Structure 1
Amino acid sequence: MIRRATPDDVPVILAMIGELAAYEREPQAARATGPQLEEALFGPQPAAFALIAEAGGAPVGFALWFRNFSTWTGTHGVYLEDLYVRPEARGDGHGKALLAALAEICVARGYERFEWSVLDWNEPSIGLYRSIGARPMDEWTVFRLTGEALHDLAATSRVNGA
């Protein structure tokens, strides 16, 4: 079963974020707190949304996503930030069910794109994504600006009150 997350799910989502970070070999990078996650998902202006996969009434996975926007199509899309299924529930179709639920959201809302990133060594996930018709954006490279470099660039801004 796939359902929308509720505020009661914040602790389990936070736990699964930690599990995902460990799987992706960066456990120290998962620093989000429960209050931050609750504000982002359920605050007055949600910045992100989440779905929960359940088996036997227990959460076994989640998808956390937010809207993006394409200037080329003039429409919103979905960017999947995290997709995670606990090891004991993998292979039972929960990941595909979460992806299908997000595809349904896209179609129902007229969104034309559903995008995400995957680590190049994560062959099981890549296999799943290819099996549903997703294709890699081989000519694109993801860039990230964080830490000191982010602050250094921000210090050069000429915008007042950004």
Structure 2
Amino acid sequence: MSDFEIRAASVADVPDLIRLVQALAAYEKEPDAATATPDQFRDALFPAQGDPTAYALVGVREGAVVAMAIWFRSFSTWTGQAGIWLEDLFVEPDQRGHGLGKALLAHLAQLCVERGWTRLEWTVLDWNTPSIEFYRAHGARSLDDWSTFRVDGDALPQLAAMT
């Protein structure tokens, strides 16, 4: 029996999700990059109308939210099936070693299996050896032949202007 709970996030968890995202950004050496606001998270995760843009799970230990997994539904043109894109998984450093990260991943895998989705995917920074080892230990494989690309900042409106 574990000493924590994994559950779907609620609106009341938004401040904790923001706090954990900021902690993740600091861990990933980009503390100023996490600019999301509680209102943005509420709108994305718990919209007044329409479907959520993203979903979140939280890990609760001793009454406190100490871990999170934020994800959204993806789609593979190759398999014709949906999947999960794991945007962020984070466990507070002093809470690691209790199985929270594994439980979050397992919960996401269970969602995929239950819904007939074929993939659970994410990216990890090349220098983040502890996370890479953790993911590999749980059956993940690196797609070394693929590179992640992003258009953001000033490049986004510049590209948009090319229409």
Separation in 1, partners of 2:98, 2:76: 33
In structure 2, the residue matched to 1:137 is 143
Question: In the alignment, is residue 42 of structure 1 matched against residue 46 of structure 2?
Answer: yes
- Match of residue 20 from structure 1: 24
Separation in 2 of the partners of 1:32 and 1:15?
10
C-alpha deviation, 1:124, in angstroms: 1.1
Superposed CA deviations along residues 81-105 of structure 1, whole A, max 9, x for unmatched, are: 0000001101111001000000000
Which AA in structure 1 matches 2:39?
A: P
SS at match of 2:84: strand
Letter in 2 for 1:53: G
Note the alpha carbon deviations across 1:29-68, whole angstroms, 9 max, x for none: 0000000000000002200000000111211100000000
SS in 2 for 1:147: coil
Matching residue within 127, 138, 146 for 2:133: 127
Length-normalised TM-score, structure 2: 0.95
With structure 1 as the length reference, what TM-score do the two structures score?
Answer: 0.95
Q: Which amino acid aligns with 2:61?
A: A
Q: Are residues 1:32 and 2:56 paired?
A: no
1:92 aligned to 2:98? Answer: yes
Unaligned runs of 5+ in 1: 158-162
**Aligned: 1:10 with 2:14:** yes
Q: Which of 114, 122, 126 is equivalent to 1:108?
A: 114
Amino acid at match of 1:33: T
Identify the residue that residue 160 of structure 1 maps to in structure 2. none
Aligned length: 157
Aligned to 2:67: 61
Once the 2 structures are TM-superposed, how far is the Cα of residue 14 of structure 1 from its aligned partner?
Answer: 0.4
Task: Report SS of the residue matched to 2:109.
Answer: helix
1:156 is aligned to 2:162: yes
Cα-Cα RMSD: 0.6
Gaps of at least 5 residues in structure 2 are none
Moved over 6 A (4+): none
